[in-house]
Amino acid sequence: MPTLMRNHWLSRSAPLFRLYPVFLVAIAGVFLVTPLSAQNAPVPPILLGTSWYPEQWPEARWEADLSLMENAGIRMVHMGEFAWSRIEPSEGHYDFDWLDRAVAAAGKHGMWVVLGTPTAGPPAWLTEKYPETLRVNREGKLAEHGNREQFNFANLKYRELARGIAERMAKRFGHNPVVIGWQIDNEYTEASFDANTRKQFQQWLKARYGTLEKLNSAWTTPYWSETYFSWDQIPIQDEYGNPGILLNWKRFVSDTWRSYQKNQLEVIRANADPRQFITTNMMGWFEGYDHYTVAQDLDIAAWDDYVGQGHLDPVRNGAAHDLTRGLKQKNFWVMETQPGFVNWAPINNSLDKGEVRAMAWHDIGHGADAVSYWQWRSALNGQEEYHGTLVGADGSPVPLYSEVQQIGQEFARAGPALAGTSPRSDVAILHSYDSRWAIMYQKHNRNYDPIDELLSYYKPLRRISQSIDIVPPTARLESYKLVVAPGLNVISDAIAENLIEYVRQGGHLVLGQRSGMKDENNGLQPERQPGPLVNLLGGRVEQYYALTDSIPIEGNFGSAKSQAMQGKLWAELLSAKEDDVEVLARYGKSNGWLDGQPVAITRKVGRGRITYIGAWFDEEGMEAAGEWMLDISGVKSALASVPQGVEVYPRYGTNKVVYVIVNFANDAQTVVLPVSMADVLAGGVKKSVSLVRFGVAVLSAVQ
């Protein structure tokens, strides 16, 4: 489960025998189990899974657990990622026999296996014998055994040991027909601040810049007399410091996680069938490293999808799905998700009845091909005893089990229709870790959050277009009618060339506030915003202002609603330098400097268009601006006239489109369809569907 969230809010055995015989009798009377061997069937196109830790339980218990999984429609089990001390109880002494039996047992129950390399939890013998493998935190304190992720991701000895265990696992299971994939480690999170890692950072900088003269120039080190005269003088700075060091430290961390991962990935690939995919479980909006950098060597992207306190936000959560799908620009997996509630939030409330099912279909709609619950059964001890599960510590199902069983039945029913389908979008939002980091290091307004900025654009655009890709600014863009770049703070020459070419080829580029302030070294651009795109825009930002209060905005975005717009947090005074630049909106009376000045401008460039929006609009303003962007770019809804609160997720395949529809409104809603469609879950052909709160429909149409 998410280390990021757990660390944010706080800093993962023996059986219960008393109920065990009674429970076995109970399940025997309730279920008629017909084992399905995973070796004799193809992998389903849509998988329901769970994390199972057989090493925590007596082997005599496995059959009961696997029978319950099978009856719930679970077709994938994820295991092994915390089992290093069981696999290698002392250095060089291995025990894979139990894992062999666990994999085989899962296969007999019609389940496929994803194996995790156990390197997120090194055993005590390892860190005791090789203390240099322990990471050092920002304050210089050495990590200790007793939690997880106590290892140093840059330490060569740890990498040697991690590669060794991964290689042995791959040789043992790389051709096992039940094993369909590998997860490397678990939720990369903590960097190390030890002297050796600092030395590696300095060497990385030398490789990047070549000479100290180039580095000093790029970082403007004469400021505060920060000039460096030897590489070993350069410190690690990750909270406050020279902007050049800050941004490059994050890049170094990203490259180090990539090489850490590649160290294991190489030996798995050398010893495993090509059919076995390799991934790792990322964490959505986590900003500790550049996910594009780390994902490039993987076969598929995967992430751990948790709500925590509160309830599912389809906008923020949906954007995280789209972000993950954009890492490889293809369908992804939800490797972990919460079965009702977690244990690490301030208040660990449960999702409402029906909400877990709605969340699962929300995942599938955004392009997930697997949804897996963490975890199957409550551990009897450990840091996450209170975390939600599908089966309690006594081995009997919790109330949520029946809802997950319904999901399993529906995934099996809808799988053939969804096979070979994926989301397809006319709209892309550009997302950049460099830009997020640059803004977070110098927020200028403490309430400025670059993720919230992105979501302010995403929400109205997704509601209307019903599908959005989130991709890096270096991605190929020619297939999109509209490309929106909220807060693209760092624009390199390569990014500028990509965006200019997109507009010249007929696309519509919309830049949001704070775009084009920085170059690739996190230094200010020598031109005013948007830097290298000023000539294309035909205008520029004359000044930026952090706001304490909202200010009025009057505009013409083709909607009467735009007359009541407000700007918050941030405002930029724009100027139009070319005669063909159109002013879309102006500030009302505010601080004097902004009164009556342009806040949004647009310009046609050949067959294309570029627009700049210089203020953080309120929700009403973003609705008006979003409608204008989509309309002028020729983007239409996949399904028109959908009630408020109903989410539509189209997935396209060869000559077909499948619509996943989920009602997140508090009341029942009816969706009228433009043509008759096959109701995949309920059967029959429908011209409309009525959905209760958290209701789901899966509809198939010929394209």
Active site residues: 187, 336
Beta pairing, strands 302-305 & 332-337: parallel
C-alpha 456/C-alpha 565 separation (Å) is 14
Please, where are the H alpha helices in 272-309?
291-295
CA end-to-end span of the chain: 39
Look up residue 616 and give its two tokens: 């953080």
Quote the CA–CA distance of 2 and 148 in Å, as a whole number.
Answer: 12
3-state secondary structure (DSSP) of residue 574: strand
What pairs with residue 510 in β-bridges? 484, 611
Q: Which of 255, 626, 264, 175 is nearest to 427 (CA)?
A: 626
Q: What's the rounded Cα separation, in Å, for the pair 501 and 480?
A: 13
Instruction: Report residue 126: phi and psi, to 5°.
Output: -70, -50
Q: How far apart are CA 258 and CA 265, in angstroms?
A: 10
The helix/strand/coil state of 282 is strand
DSSP-based three-state secondary structure for 207:
helix
Token readout for 136 is 């050092």
Q: Are strands 427-430 and 469-471 parallel, antiparallel or unpaired?
A: parallel
Classified as helix, coil or strand, 275 is coil
Scanning 471-533, the segments in alpha helix (DSSP H) are 493-504
Q: How far apart are CA 547 and CA 571, in angstroms?
A: 7
Cα–Cα distance measured from residue 248 to residue 256, given in angstroms and rounded to the nearest whole number: 12
Q: Label residues 308-318 b or e (16+ Cβ within 10 Å = b).
A: beeebebbbbb
**564 within 8 A of 553, measured Cβ to Cβ:** no
Cα 13 off chain centre by: 33
Contact present, 276 and 253 (Cβ < 8 Å): no
8 Å CB contact between 647 and 696: no
CB 159 within 8 A of CB 262: no
Torsion angles phi and psi, residue 178, rounded to 5: -80, -25
